[in-house]
Amino acid sequence: MNHQPPVSHPRPVIALLTDFGLGDGDVGVMKGVIATITPDVHIIDITHEVAPQNIPSGAWILAASYRYFPENTVFVCVVDPGVGSSRNAIAVHAGDRFFVGPDNGLFSYVLAQQTIHRTIVLSNPAYHLPQVSSTFHGRDIFAPVGAHLARGVALAELGTAIDPAKLQRIDIEPPSRQGTDIYAYIIHVDRFGNLITNIPLSLVPELSSPSINRGSQSAEQQPHFVFPTLGATVDRYSRFFSDSADDGQPFIYADSSGYVGIAVRNGNAATNLDAGPGTPVTFVASNI
């Protein structure tokens, strides 16, 4: 088993992702707990503004982020509507990194994308705070466990192993093909209202072609998107935002997350198209 202790990195990194917001001091308290246990840690916030209790949104932001962090980074992620219930608290060594949080689907992309070396249910109270509340496991369990991992405690010390096949996962189906059509859906809406689909950029080579449509060709001539439930079609492409027409019309672009996105320059594609997470969208590769 390829289990490298995090101490191989000169300064351990803990990355935090929660839906706690920044107003109440809860995130600060988690950092205080971490710094008490692992003084030389570098704590990095991914975000604390995940939509409250929105596990799919938290899972997606983590998926778009974790590859950019150093090896052995410990991700402490808390979007946890079931806190205090019987849901498990877990730590996972997946790929070159560690993930700590509730077992509720928050790590679904990571589990699907990385080799899972070991999964542990956090049943060893020696690595929790002495008093564990029923409503703030971020402070009482996940922060201290993450800090102990970051200072080099072995994953196996933290509790009992569990079969990763038994972990909770949310639906993150890849798009399906039928002939030249790709059936997909909207996976995320970012703060600008851009719609991110579950279609990897590699499936839409038009986006890296120099001859992409900037409005001069008709939809029949080249691949386009159809929103079947909305009666809308999007057939324009743009390489970057300032390259598109400022006319309120949506266009297809390569989102920096690695997925195909749909945006409106200086506008809001989600509002414009009345689309959101889960909205089905079909990529019609009619001329391939």
Which is nearer to a second copy, 45 or 157 (by Cβ)? 45
For a second copy, which is the closer residue by CB, 29 or 162? 29
CB nearer to a second copy: pick between 15 and 281:
15
Distance of CA 221 to CAs 8, 200, 210, 227, 284, Å?
54, 22, 16, 18, 11
Least Å distance between CB 41 and a second copy?
A: 8
Residue number, 119 or 146, with CB nearest to a second copy = 146
Give the nearer residue to a second copy in terms of CB position, either 17 or 158: 17
The residue among 119 and 236 lying less far from a second copy, judged by its C-beta, is: 236
Shortest distance, position 176 Cβ to a second copy, whole Å: 26
Which residues of the chain form contacts with a second copy (CB under 8 A)? Answer: 9-11, 13, 15, 17, 21-25, 27-29, 31-33, 35-36, 39-40, 42-49, 52, 61-62, 64-65, 68-70, 73, 81-85, 133-136, 139-140, 190-192, 239-243, 253-256
SS3 content of the chain, % helix, strand, coil (to 5): 25, 25, 45
> Least distance in Å: CB of 30 to a second copy?
8
- Between residues 117 and 239, which has the closer beta carbon with respect to a second copy? 239
Q: Which residues contact 264 (CB under 8 A, 6 or more apart)?
A: 193, 248, 249, 250, 251, 272
Min dist. Cβ of residue 281 to a second copy (A): 20
Question: Is the Cα torsion angle 131, 135, 138, 139 positive or negative in sign?
Answer: negative
Residues sharing a CB contact under 8 Å with residue 159, sequence separation 6 or more, in sequence order: 91, 120, 121, 122, 123, 124
Q: How far is CA 258 from CA 73, 199, 210, 286, in A?
A: 21, 9, 19, 23
At residue 216, the 3 state secondary structure works out as coil
**Cβ-count burial 259-269 (b if 16+ within 10 Å, e if not):** bbbbbbbebbb
Q: How far is the CB of 140 from a second copy (least distance, A)?
A: 8
For every residue of 86-107, which 3-state class applies, written as one string?
Answer: CCCEEEEEECCEEEEEECCCCC
| In the complex, least distance from residue 66 CB atom to a second copy, rounded to whole angstroms | 8
Please report how close the Cβ of residue 263 comes to a second copy at its closest, in angstroms.
Answer: 9
